Amino acid sequence: MADVLVTATDLAELMLSPTPPVILDVRWQLGDDDGRQHYRDGHLPGAIYVDLDSELAAPPAGAAGGRHPLPAVDDLQAAARRWGIDDDVTVVVYDDYGNLAAARAWWLLRWAGITDVRMLDGGLGAWRAAGLRTAQGDGGIARAGSVTLRPGQLPVADIDEVADSTAVLLDVRAAERYRGEVEPVDPRAGHIPGARNAPTTANLDADGYFRPAGELRKLFSEVGVDEGSDVIAYCGSGINAAHAVAALEIAGVRARLFPGSFSQWSSDPDRPVETSTETPPAG
């Protein structure tokens, strides 16, 4: 499996190399539309701002694809070239929230055939904690890249495969959403029948770094995932589930992403939904 993470100090060295990486700033949180302003307030030198809603997803499609469907390959390729990505280049992505949004770019670009995509472990906070400088403002315009994307390089599961699969199905949303106690954005509360809850935030330590591989293996084993398990991960709209896929890869497990996730499932009235008052396994 390819490297998933890069440390702040290693990234600083890569940036000074003859072939520096393309760095993408993916500032996004549910309910926070100010990602570009957060980027302007401070970002890694040379980083290009990426708008998750418009560049890493197609328009919302409800029961046909959920809130953040995968973008058309031609659109993604045009965006990747606009960001300055060439074939065989290293790409580093980050945000300021534990890489919960940046993981979407990590997964999507890996799925599209870019083999060396890494997340800055600890995100912007790790960069600042290492005493490294940041830049302000809109940043420069990247030179045009020439990458050719080859989609399908990471496994996915569509809604019918999820319904019929015997795989371990992981719902990585917060426990209260999994149980159906609250549902702030999707049509119905609860979870896909048979899913086990493994909240994405448990993948991180208190400082927003990914837990070590051994800790992640233990965490996932508590919800029935072992090295040879067939695993499908979903969340609300396929964003945080990409983070779970990354954590599983660090733990040595190749998982499938359900891009439509619960936003697609819950939009189809013919798909059953379960609620639960049980507390999920501890993470």
* Bridge partners of residue 233, in order along the sequence: 170, 257
Q: Retrieve residue 245's tokens.
A: 């896929």
Query: Which stretches of 173-272 are DSSP H helices?
Result: 175-179, 213-221, 240-250, 261-265
In 3D, which of 266, 241, 239, 247 has the Cα closest to residue 30?
Answer: 239
- Choose, from 235, 242, 245, 257, the residue flagged as catalytic: 235
Q: What angle do CA 71, 77, 78 make, to 5 degrees?
A: 100
Yes or no: say if 218 and 199 are a contact pair by the CB < 8 Å rule.
no
Sign of the dihedral defined by the CA atoms of residues 242, 65, 34, 82, in that order: positive
Question: Is 235 one of the annotated active-site residues of the chain?
Answer: yes
Q: How many residues are listed for the chain in this entry?
A: 283
The residues, any chain, with a CB within 8 Å of residue 123's CB and separated by 6 or more, are 94, 95, 96, 97, 98, 99, 102, 208
Residue with tokens 């990602």: 35
Quick one: how far is CA 217 from the chain centroid? 19
Q: In Å, what is the CA distance from 180 to each residue of 9, 32, 275?
A: 42, 23, 5
Yes or no: say if 170 and 231 are a contact pair by the CB < 8 Å rule.
yes
Yes or no: say if 5 and 250 are a contact pair by the CB < 8 Å rule.
yes
Catalytic positions are 235
